Amino acid sequence: MSQRRLYQFALSGHSHRARLMLSLLGLPCELVDVDLKGGAHKQPEFLALNPFGQVPVLVDGDAVIPDSNAILVYLAGRYDESGRWLPRDPQRQAQVQRWLSVAAGPLAFGPAAARVATLFGMPLDIAKARQLACDLFTVMERELGGRPFLAGNEPTIADIALYTYTAHAPEGGVSLAPYPNVRAWLARIADLPGFVPMPASPVAGSAIADGQR
């Protein structure tokens, strides 16, 4: 078997979604921590893997896959023969893609931004980020009232893409108390065989937002 490595930052939700997908699929992987605070993601060696200088990056044999959502698509497409994680039906696949777009948009600019501003001192409009988070969770709460997972009755990579920054939203000052359906969904993800959590974040003194995607 070819060596598989995930270049990551342990407190990055983007990195965690890739690590979580690997674990759910039962794929062994060497975790390589990238020193974002020290600027390792901007050095030539790392830029050769991802010219944007962001974690995570998956190296799987000859394949080099930057970007967390791209990694989810790659892993599901290559290693999930059942089609559970990335459905082959065009309509269900479109439903999954919709949530991947949400992960790169409202999730990133809402709860993820509020968290990085709170914990790492990133100069962002934290009030706006928290409002975007609440707006997103209101939509998720309504949609999860009618089904157990974001794209249907079974978990998909859509759920993995949204999980971490939702679960860690309180670290950005966004309470999940008003969203019982969201909290129940988080519990269902955490109960999946192979689930691994992301560590809770201590307050740190350096912004990491530009080093993760």
DSSP string, 106-167: HHIIIIIHHHHHHHH---S-HHHHHHHHHHHHHHHHHHHTS-SBTTBSS--HHHHHHHHHHH
- Residue 199 belongs to some domain of the structure: no
Say yes or no: 178 and 103 in one domain.
yes
Structure tokens at 26: 């039962």
Residue 155 pLDDT:
98
pLDDT at 40: 87
* Mean pLDDT per 10-residue interval, the chain, length 213 residues: 85 96 98 90 92 96 97 97 94 97 98 92 92 98 97 97 97 96 98 94 46 54
Cβ neighbours of residue 140 closer than 8 Å, sequence gap 6 or more: 150, 162, 166, 179, 181, 182, 185
What pTM value is reported for the model?
0.91
Per-residue model confidence (pLDDT) at position 209: 44
Structural domain includes residue 201:
no
Give the domain-ending residue among 39, 56, 79: 79
- Token pair, residue 194, equals 């192979």
Q: Look at residue 16 and tell me if it is in a domain.
A: yes
Residue 108: name the closest of 126, 72, 133, 125 by CA: 133
Same domain, 94 and 186: yes
Write down which residue in 47, 79, 111 finishes a domain: 79
Q: Say if 26 falls within a structural domain.
A: yes
pLDDT recorded at residue 121: 82
- 20 and 108 in a single domain? The answer is no
Indicate if 74 and 99 belong to the same structural domain.
no
In a domain, 9, yes or no: yes
Residues 58, 105, single domain; the answer is no
CATH code for the domain of 43: 3.40.30.10
Range of the domain at 180: 90-192
pLDDT computed for residue 205 by the predictor: 34
**Residue finishing a domain among 40, 57, 79:** 79
Does 198 reside within a domain? Answer: no
Nearest to 71 by CA among 11, 19, 23: 19
Regarding whether 187 and 94 lie in a shared domain, the answer is: yes
Structural domains counted in the chain: 2
Asked whether residue 187 is domain-assigned, the answer is: yes
